[in-house]
Structure 1
Amino acid sequence: MLIEIRSSLDPELAALITAQQRELEAAGAEADRMFEPGDDVAYLVGVVNGRAVACGAWQETGPGAAELRRLYVRPAFRGRGLARQMIVAIEEEALAADRPLLRLELGARLSAAIALYQSSGYRQVPSTGPHRVRFEKRLPALVQ
């Protein structure tokens, strides 16, 4: 999979985010708030055979910290390790921007996503509500 940085206005990214939001709503999970163009969000898109099939984003949240957002892989492409590749790419981008602490929050019903983040080294921390799960991960420093 080729991972590219894309603009928030990219139509393929918009299609992925729309598909993600529909899937979240169908699962009874709270849909993510939409980012507005110009938000300080870095979007990445995973491309397989010229087709955008995965996305993810990170956003600065304070000194040394960022939030991982919008991780999504089209259903037909799941089970191939693409989500894990997206997580690694997002972590690398955040770390290169001096954001070694990554956080994320998701619906408690999203058991596959929860398992993915746990197996990727994210640890659960207290959440903001009974139907939410929050994780964080401190990334090792880059060796210069």
Structure 2
Amino acid sequence: MHLEERSTDDAELAALLEAAFAELVARNGAEGRTQVKDGARYFVVLDADKHAVGCAALQVFGPDTAHPGDGELKRMYVTPAARGRGYARALLNALEQTARTAGHPTLRLTTSENQPEAISLYESSGYTRIAPWGKYVNEPLTRCYGKVL
């Protein structure tokens, strides 16, 4: 497994993001598609054949938020054919290290009750439920997690 940072104009990343959006909408409805902030960093995980099989974005909470300086994980996704092989955990671990290096004290994320696989990954990786923030406060199916880095 290998992790690479990619730009948003990368074709493999674009295909993964589109698949991630489609799955989010299928599981959560159109409201499941939230925006990633400008300036977010995007990463892909590659299999042994150098094919991109997963992606995620890392963005920063701005100074005008309740969690300034914290990192936020967005668009965590692994293709269905590559699931169960450790790619998601490797991607998550690499993003945690990237967030630490960038000086983020905590990494936060949101997922849905409709994504039990994601919940299992995050909880088994040391993430704990935290109070919802922003638009997630009034979304009963949303689960918010955080991990002190």
Extract structure 1 runs of 4+ deviating beyond 3 A: none
d(CA) in 2 for partners of 1:100 and 1:57? 17
Q: How far apart, CA to CA, are the structure 2 residues paired with 1:14 and 1:33?
A: 16
Task: State the match for 1:32 in structure 2.
Answer: 33
Give the structure-2-normalised TM-score. 0.86
CA deviations over 1:35-94 (Å, ceiling 9, x no partner): 47xx11011101111211110111011443110111100000010111000001111111
Rounded to whole Å, the distance in 2 between the matches of 1:90 and 1:46 is: 11
Indicate the residue corresponding to 1:138 in structure 2. 148
Question: Could you tell me which residue of structure 1 aligns to residue 57 of structure 2?
Answer: 57
Cα separation, 1, equivalents of 2:71 and 2:36: 15
TM alignment of 1:72-87, pairs within 5 A:
72-87=77-92
- Please tell me the residue identity of whatever aligns with 2:15: A
SS at match of 1:93: helix
What TM-score comes out, normalization by structure 1 length?
A: 0.88
Unaligned runs of 5+ in 1: 140-144
What per-residue deviation string (whole Å, max 9, x for no partner) do you get for residues 71-128 of structure 1?
1000000101110000011111111010120001112211111111000100001232
User: Counting helix residues as a fraction of each chain, which structure ranks higher?
Assistant: 2
> Between the two proteins, what is the percent identity of the paired residues?
42
1:47 aligns with 2:46: yes
Q: Residue 10 of structure 1 corresponds to which residue in structure 2?
A: 10
Counterparts of 1:78 and 1:112 in 2: how far apart (Å)? 10
Matched letter for residue 41 of structure 2? A
Shift in CA distance, 11/34, structure 1 to aligned 2, threshold 3 Å: farther
Aligned residues: 137
Q: 2:65 maps to which residue?
A: none
Q: Structure 2 unaligned runs (5+)?
A: 63-67
2:25/2:33 contact within 8 Å kept? no
Larger relative strand fraction: 1
2:107 to 102, 108, 115: 102
What is the Cα-based RMSD across aligned positions, in Å?
Answer: 1.5
Return 54-63 or 87-96, whichever deviates more: 54-63
